Amino acid sequence: MLLSKFDVLETDAWMPALLQNYAKHRMGQAAPDAVRLDRRVAYFRRKAVSAYAEKKVFRQCTDVVVWQSWRKFLAITRSSVTGSLAQMLRDMPDSLVDDIKAKRLKSGNTCTVSLVQIDELNYVVKRYNIKSFRHWLSRFWRPSRAASSWVNAHRLLMYNISTPLPVALLEYRYGPVRDRAYFVAHYVDAPDLAEWLGSRNVTESQKRAGMKALARLIHKLQRLQIVHGDLKASNIRMVDTEPMLIDLDSMRELRCRALFERGHVRDLKRLLRNWEEQSWERQELAKALVAEFGESAMLQRVMKY
């Protein structure tokens, strides 16, 4: 339980020496089995994160305030309760997306995204639309994609993975049946990975540092068995040389190793498709991944792609 509170990659780095030292001070007893210990640490880590991200943030707690009725469910961070955002979410949430003052970032049948400024703060508001009765039938019995984004944003922050801070979740409901939903997060003014790599203001050494940081992030996702589901360059923001994940509604944390490996390989292949095979960016990312992972069988499957 204690070891589960540390960052997974940091634990990996000093675990062998820690186990040897532990055995030494136990009067020469054999060190605990590293594989078994890693599984137990992963169990307690997942248990703590799940209790917070999948349960606690859906009820009244220190961090979140919840309003719930037969027709509506609203969870909002406590720091945002007294501002105009909470009032707008309760009374006229569509104005956050459709207001002419809002900057439309994405217009789609299933998802509409706008950038709005409220009380001098910038927010990204995503409205998950119901485009037809058939679409509603496929969605009403499942957690909304907005709820998935809410859960996964808190999950990543618990795992010390950078993502925009989640602010609010709003779902229209008919009792237990779900309808359209909204997810609100703080806006991070940073370029996506492709823009950042193509910028002349970013030096080659900074780009290499960014690729190493991205490889480390991918390694952390691999150790935590998290599949992003749409790991393309536009869903990775670069803050200085550090990557930040966005668009989390397809993200899953999988316990089945085989299912995770298939999803993880798809994630990496999707990321590599952003660049031509012989491009500098793809080669640098490949080198960074090999340096971070080593010559793993899973990575070799991706590199053959």
Q: What does the pLDDT look like over 31-85, one tens digit per residue? A: 788 889 999 999 999 999 999 999 999 999 999 999 999 889 999 999 888 888 9
Q: What pairing do the DSSP bridges indicate for beta strands 64-68 and 121-128? A: unpaired
Span 265-291, mean pLDDT? 89
What are the tens digits of pLDDT across the range 217-226? 999 999 999 9
Span 98-120, mean pLDDT? 83
Span 93-113, mean pLDDT? 81
Return the minimum-mean-pLDDT range out of 48-57, 99-108, 159-168, 295-304.
Answer: 295-304
pLDDT, position 154? 97
∠ CA 237-89-91 to the nearest 5 degrees?
155
How are strands ordered across the β-sheet holding 72-77? 64-68, 72-77, 166-174, 177-186, 121-128, 111-118, 103-107
Return the minimum-mean-pLDDT range out of 42-51, 91-100, 212-221, 249-258.
Answer: 91-100
Side chain identity, residue 39: R
The ranges assigned to domains in the chain are 3-53, 59-186, 193-303
Span 20-40, mean pLDDT? 84
Residue for token pair 């499942």: 142
Burial class of residue 115, CB neighbours in 10 A (0-12, 13-18, 19+) = middle
Residues of the chain above pLDDT 90, percent: 60
Fold of the CATH domain 193-303: Transferase(Phosphotransferase); domain 1 (1.10.510)
Structure tokens that stand for 200 in this block: 């002349």
DSSP assigned state of 88: H
Span 182-187, mean pLDDT? 96
Computed over every residue of the chain, the mean pLDDT equals 89
pLDDT, position 277? 79
pLDDT, position 195? 95
Burial class of residue 176, CB neighbours in 10 A (0-12, 13-18, 19+) = exposed
What are the tens digits of pLDDT across the range 130-184? 776 576 566 666 788 999 999 999 999 999 999 999 999 999 988 777 888 999 9
Residue for token pair 């990659």: 9
> What global pTM score does this model have?
0.91
